[in-house]
Structure 1
Amino acid sequence: MKKENYTISAYTENNIGLLNRISSIFSKRHINLDSLTTSVSEIKDVYRFTIVVQVTEDQARKLVGQIEKQIEVIKAFYHKDEETIFQETALFKMASKLLFEDREIQLVIKEHIAHIVTVTPEYFVLEKTGSRQEVELLYDRLEPYGLMQFVRSGRIAITKDKMHISKILENFSIASS
């Protein structure tokens, strides 16, 4: 079977140690995480792990099964890239003199639809939201000018189709009230 990118979404309670237990599921199987993001979900007191891995569909199915065995996990799903809408965000910190003295930087910012977040006499910060490839393209363009700092988020994703988790999460929310 062919390995592909899969986005695994796990809806959970917010308990200490859960991240460690979930990550150990992947490390025991020698599967590298391409991306990991955690956040609150659309339901009060329910959190969402968004994990990107490159595995076969059979492996994705087994990983979801193992994740769901954790007591705090309400439900987990896996999706192929074409079944989701996803983005990443990156911040680039650069010397302010580049912004004011090099017209090329301004063109790169405009061409890549990046946004200036802040400008000080010493530095400016750019924000780019888009696919990993879009962020990497901007990185490649800016890196020769000298990056003071760079950080990129993990993938955030929502499904194109309605997820049937909503009713389960609503019931969980009512039960925990």
Structure 2
Amino acid sequence: MEKQWYTISVYSENNVGLLNRISGIFLKRHINIEGLNVSKSEIENVSKFTIVIYTTEDWTRKIVQQIEKQVEVIKAFYHTDDDIIYQESALFKIASHLLFDERQIQNIIKESNSQIVTVSREFFVLSKTGRRHEIDEMHDALEPYGIMQFVRSGRIAVTKAAMPISEILKEFQEN
């Protein structure tokens, strides 16, 4: 089987220690978590984990089955990039003098559709939201000028198709 990117969505009760047990499932299989985001879901008291991995479908299916064995997990799904709409965000901290001294910096900001979040005498901060490759391209373009700090969020995603989880979550909320 061929490796590709998978996004795993895990809906669970909001309990301490679950993230540690889920990450242990990946550790045992020597599969790196490439992106992780945990947030509340559309249903009160239900959390959603969004986990990005690069592996085969067979391994992904086995991982999802293991995750679902955790007591607090209500349901877990996996999707390919074609099945979802997703975004990541990044912040770039750059020396302020470059904004005025290097014309190319202004072009990078404009071409990448990024935003200036703040400007001080010492630095300015750019925000970029988009796909992983778009953020990587911006990073590569800014790197020769010197990036003081860089941080990227985990992936956030929604499915293109209707999710059966909505009915499951409604039943969970009513009980």
Q: Give TM class, smaller chain.
A: over 0.9
> How far apart are 1:41 and its partner, in Å?
0.8
Number of the residue aligned with 1:156: 156
Aligned counterparts of 1:57 and 1:139: Cα–Cα separation in 2: 30
The secondary structure found in structure 1 opposite 2:2 is: coil
Number of the residue aligned with 1:106: 106
* Shift >2 Å, 4+ stretches: none
> How far apart are 1:173 and its partner, in Å?
1.9
Number of the residue aligned with 1:173: 173
**TM-score (norm: length of structure 1):** 0.96
Aligned counterparts of 2:146 and 2:57: Cα–Cα separation in 1: 41
Percent identity between matched residues is 62
Aligned counterparts of 2:54 and 2:149: Cα–Cα separation in 1: 28
Mark the runs of 5 or more structure 1 residues left unpaired by the alignment.
none
> How far apart are 1:174 and its partner, in Å?
2.4
Residues 47-93 of structure 1 show CA distances to partners (whole Å, capped at 9, x for unaligned) of 11111112221211111110000011010000111101111100000
Aligned counterparts of 2:3 and 2:145: Cα–Cα separation in 1: 36
Paired AA for residue 13 in structure 1: E
Aligned counterparts of 2:102 and 2:56: Cα–Cα separation in 1: 46
Aligned counterparts of 1:23 and 1:169: Cα–Cα separation in 2: 23
> How far apart are 1:100 and its partner, in Å?
2.1
Paired AA for residue 118 in structure 1: T
Aligned counterparts of 2:125 and 2:174: Cα–Cα separation in 1: 42
Paired AA for residue 162 in structure 1: A
**TM-score (norm: length of structure 2):** 0.97
Residues 97-136 of structure 1 show CA distances to partners (whole Å, capped at 9, x for unaligned) of 1112222111110011111111111111000011111000
The secondary structure found in structure 2 opposite 1:30 is: coil
Aligned counterparts of 2:3 and 2:144: Cα–Cα separation in 1: 34
Aligned counterparts of 1:125 and 1:141: Cα–Cα separation in 2: 15
Q: How many residues align?
A: 175
Aligned counterparts of 1:174 and 1:122: Cα–Cα separation in 2: 53
Number of the residue aligned with 1:46: 46
Residues 4-37 of structure 1 show CA distances to partners (whole Å, capped at 9, x for unaligned) of 1111000011111100000000111111111111
> Once superposed, what is the RMSD of the aligned Cα atoms?
0.9
Aligned counterparts of 1:7 and 1:167: Cα–Cα separation in 2: 21
Number of the residue aligned with 1:36: 36
Paired AA for residue 150 in structure 1: F
- 1:123-138 to structure 2, matched below 5 A, reads 123-138=123-138
- 1:52-131 to structure 2, matched below 5 A, reads 52-131=52-131
